[in-house]
Structure 1
Amino acid sequence: MRIGIVCPYSWDVPGGVQLHIRDLAEHLLREGHEVSVLAPADDDTPLPPYAVSAGRAVAVPYNGSVARLNFGFLTAARVRRWVHDGDFDVLHIHEPATPSLSVLTCWLAQGPMVATFHTSIPRSRWLVALYPMLQSALEKISARIAVSEYARRTFVEHLGGDAVVIPNGVDVGFFADAEPRPEWQGGTIGFLGRIDEPRKGLPVLMKALPRIVAAHPDTRLLVAGRGDEEEAVAGLPEDVRDRVEFLGMVSDEDKARLLRSVDLYVAPNTGGESFGIILVEALSAGAPVLASDLDAFAQVLDGGEAGQLFANEDPDALATAAIKLLGDPERRAELRERGRRHVRRFDWSTVGADILSVYETVTDGAASVAPDERPGWRARLGLAARDVPAGKEDRPS
């Protein structure tokens, strides 16, 4: 199957959506499919062989973070060219309500389209206001996927219709088989995320840290992610600051080794999460997980069975739970085992098969339409005759 995947966010700054798309593309390639990913990217960004740049993105505040998006006439021309050259059996559009490549592709292309919705946000006047403009694009989508019940709820409340829930996928074996690093072992707490993005919750963890260190003086906090390190520890007492070690941006391999090494992984995120892929990665690596009780996190952690939850944005609740877990190796071992069993449902062998089943459903439906009922390829792409490359005029639809 020829599959085109559209990523709305810049490939330069990896995030949950980009990593999901990357892993999905590589899973599909291993399964023998032809895959091309269109994504915003700077000219000097190294891209994998299956990825195509749609040009440089611009930073836009979005959902408590900053999204790097790509839009405009030049981008539209690149989208047309990519869709035409790819001759895809199915297009998989991620975040089609985002004003970037995704909505452009919906407007410009025809044929079988699958959309995945990742975002979970409260009632948004912005999305409601944009709906009339988005409606013509969204109506062209053949099947809709949401990565969680909370992403599905956002889609239903703002845009109508419904979506099947298929979670984000993880290569469980990659994390489970990683080798721990001795220097990251021994009384360590792990945190991965952008340091200067408040909703990732590092300030909550920093407020809890003095109590944790007072109860367990040998505890170290390992922080992986980009941001202002000095500002992150500015509120800590001097004698606690040296218990924090910043690792900067880490490779996928080192992320897996970090999660395999720590005694406890803490996810203090405060909101704006529709899933929580880092929780699944931590569970895959066998790390006991302590997470804020966001609805999406509670769902991933099976209501607290596969990991422990604490009251969101409450440093004292975080500290109390962490102190207890660090002092109870039997409880941590129990969480590890429960997590390993629970996480199997998120492996790409399962998630990829579910997504492929959606592709097959929409392509089978398209194939059942008589050829003379389908618009020609030029009309499907929204191309005028002057846009057709030489020698392509008679390409069949």
Structure 2
Amino acid sequence: MRIGIVCPYSWDVPGGVQFHIRDLAEHLIGLGHQVSVLAPSDDETPLPPYVVSAGRAVPVPYNGSVARLNFGFLSAARVRRWVHEGDFDVLHIHEPATPSLALLACWSAQGPIVATFHTSNPRSRIMIAAYPILQPALEKISARIAVSEYARRTLVEHLGGDAVTIPNGVDVDFFAGAEPKSEWQGGPEGRTIGFIGRIDEPRKGLPVLIKALPRILEEAPGTRLLVAGRGDEEEAVASLPEKMRESVEFLGMVSDEDKARLLRSVDLYVAPNTGGESFGIILVEAMSAGAPVLASDLDAFEQVLDGGAAGQLFPNEQADALATAAVSLLADPERRAELRARGTRHVRRFDWSTVGADILAVYETVADGAASVAPDERIGLRARLGLARD
């Protein structure tokens, strides 16, 4: 199959959508498909051979964060050329409701289009206001995928139609097989807590974790917090008493290999995110690596953690509750082992062997068309995939 995938966000600033697209592309290539990914990127960014640059992106505030998007006349020309030259059997665009390459590709494409919706934002006035502009492009979409029930709900409430829910995928064995790193592991003098995310993006929740840290250090002496991600490290710990700052170790941006090793090494992974999450890929990665997970009780996180069975939840933005749960878990190896075992079993449903097969089934449905399907079956298929009406 010739498959074109459109990434709306800049390839040089890592994020969940970019990682999902990268891993999906490499999974499909591994199965023998021809895949090309179009994405914004800076000129100096090293790109995999399957990625085509659409030029530089500009930062735009979006969904409680800052997204780096690419839009305009020059971008539109590049998209049209890429679509024409690719002659794809299926075009898979991500986040078509954002002012990005995905929307431009929707306008340019003529063949079957699959769209994946990642955003969970139940009160998006911008999306509601933009609907008249988006509608002509969105009507060209052949099938819709939502990465979670909450992303699906956002789609239904703001844009109409429906979608089949297929979660983000993870190479479970990659994380499960990583070698722990001795300097990141806890020892007789204390345990290690891990956090991975952008330091200067408040919704990732590091300020909540930092606020909880004094009590954690007081009740679980010797604990270390390992932080991986980009941002202002000095500002992140400015609220801590100076003597406690040495208990926080900043690792900066880490490679995929070191991220897996970090998750394999820590005694507890904490995800204190405060909102704007439609899935929670880091939770899946942590479970894959066998890390016990403590996470805020966002709806999306609760779903990923099987209602709290595969990881422990605490009330969102409540630093005291986070501290209480963390201290309890750090002192209870049996409870951590239970969470580790449950997470390891649960996470298999997110492996690319399952997720990739589900996405391919959508591709094949829209590529083959419904000509050979009986009328009643065709209606059922189109309804399940959130397709436009015949």
Which of the five TM-score ranges fits, normalised by the shorter chain? over 0.9
Aligned to 1:322: 326
2:265 pairs with 1:257: no
SS at match of 1:140: coil
Post-superposition Cα deviations, 1:62-85, rounded to whole Å, max 9, x if no partner, equal 011000000111111101110111
2:280 pairs with 1:276: yes
Q: CA RMSD in A?
A: 1.0
Aligned to 1:360: 364
Measured in 2, the distance between the counterparts of 1:10 and 1:273 equals 19
SS at match of 1:242: helix
C-alpha contact 1:6 1:38 (8 A) present in aligned 2: yes
Measured in 2, the distance between the counterparts of 1:116 and 1:75 equals 21
Aligned counterparts, 1:260-339, within 5 A: 260-339=264-343
C-alpha contact 1:123 1:157 (8 A) present in aligned 2: no
Post-superposition Cα deviations, 1:362-389, rounded to whole Å, max 9, x if no partner, equal 01117769xxxxxxxxxxxxxxxxxxxx
Measured in 2, the distance between the counterparts of 1:168 and 1:95 equals 14
SS at match of 1:156: helix
Q: Under a length normalisation based on structure 2, what TM-score does the superposition of the two structures give?
A: 0.94
Q: Which amino acid aligns with 1:344?
A: R
Deviation at 1:122, TM superposition (A): 2.3
Moved more, 356-365 or 119-128: 119-128
Deviation at 1:238, TM superposition (A): 1.6
1:195 to 199, 203, 213: 199
C-alpha contact 1:179 1:260 (8 A) present in aligned 2: yes
C-alpha contact 2:122 2:153 (8 A) present in aligned 1: no
Measured in 1, the distance between the counterparts of 2:176 and 2:32 equals 25
Aligned to 2:241: 237
Post-superposition Cα deviations, 1:260-312, rounded to whole Å, max 9, x if no partner, equal 00000000000000000000000000000000000000000000000000000
Cα separation, partners in 2 of 1:368 and 1:74, compared to 1, 3 Å: farther
C-alpha contact 1:112 1:366 (8 A) present in aligned 2: no
Moved more, 316-325 or 231-240: 231-240
SS at match of 2:369: helix
Post-superposition Cα deviations, 1:94-118, rounded to whole Å, max 9, x if no partner, equal 0000101000000111110000000
Measured in 2, the distance between the counterparts of 1:27 and 1:206 equals 37
SS at match of 2:42: coil
SS at match of 2:341: helix
Aligned to 2:17: 17
C-alpha contact 1:106 1:140 (8 A) present in aligned 2: yes
Aligned to 2:30: 30
SS at match of 2:92: strand
Quote the sequence identity (%). 85
Aligned to 2:112: 112
Q: Which amino acid aligns with 1:294?
A: L
Cα separation, partners in 2 of 1:367 and 1:91, compared to 1, 3 Å: farther
Cα separation, partners in 2 of 1:148 and 1:241, compared to 1, 3 Å: same
Aligned counterparts, 1:343-382, within 5 A: 343-365=347-369
Moved more, 246-255 or 357-366: 357-366
Measured in 1, the distance between the counterparts of 2:172 and 2:371 equals 35
Post-superposition Cα deviations, 1:169-217, rounded to whole Å, max 9, x if no partner, equal 0000000000000000011000000000000000000000000011111
SS at match of 2:325: helix
Aligned counterparts, 1:72-111, within 5 A: 72-111=72-111
Measured in 1, the distance between the counterparts of 2:237 and 2:372 equals 61
Measured in 2, the distance between the counterparts of 1:72 and 1:346 equals 36
Aligned counterparts, 1:41-80, within 5 A: 41-80=41-80
C-alpha contact 2:170 2:351 (8 A) present in aligned 1: yes
SS at match of 2:43: coil
Aligned to 2:142: 142
Q: Which runs of 5+ in 1 are unaligned?
A: 370-397
Q: Which amino acid aligns with 1:92?
A: H
Measured in 2, the distance between the counterparts of 1:50 and 1:23 equals 12
Q: Which amino acid aligns with 1:258?
A: L
Measured in 2, the distance between the counterparts of 1:45 and 1:366 equals 41
Measured in 2, the distance between the counterparts of 1:164 and 1:231 equals 42
C-alpha contact 1:175 1:281 (8 A) present in aligned 2: yes
Q: Which amino acid aligns with 1:47?
A: L
Aligned to 1:225: 229
SS at match of 2:114: strand
SS at match of 1:246: strand
Aligned to 1:128: 128
Q: Which runs of 5+ in 2 are unaligned?
A: 374-390
Measured in 2, the distance between the counterparts of 1:336 and 1:164 equals 30
Aligned counterparts, 1:163-202, within 5 A: 163-186=163-186, 187-202=191-206
Measured in 2, the distance between the counterparts of 1:330 and 1:43 equals 50
SS at match of 1:28: helix
Deviation at 1:44, TM superposition (A): 1.1
Structure 1 segments (4+ residues) deviating >6 Å: 366-369
Measured in 1, the distance between the counterparts of 2:271 and 2:38 equals 31
Cα separation, partners in 2 of 1:56 and 1:100, compared to 1, 3 Å: same
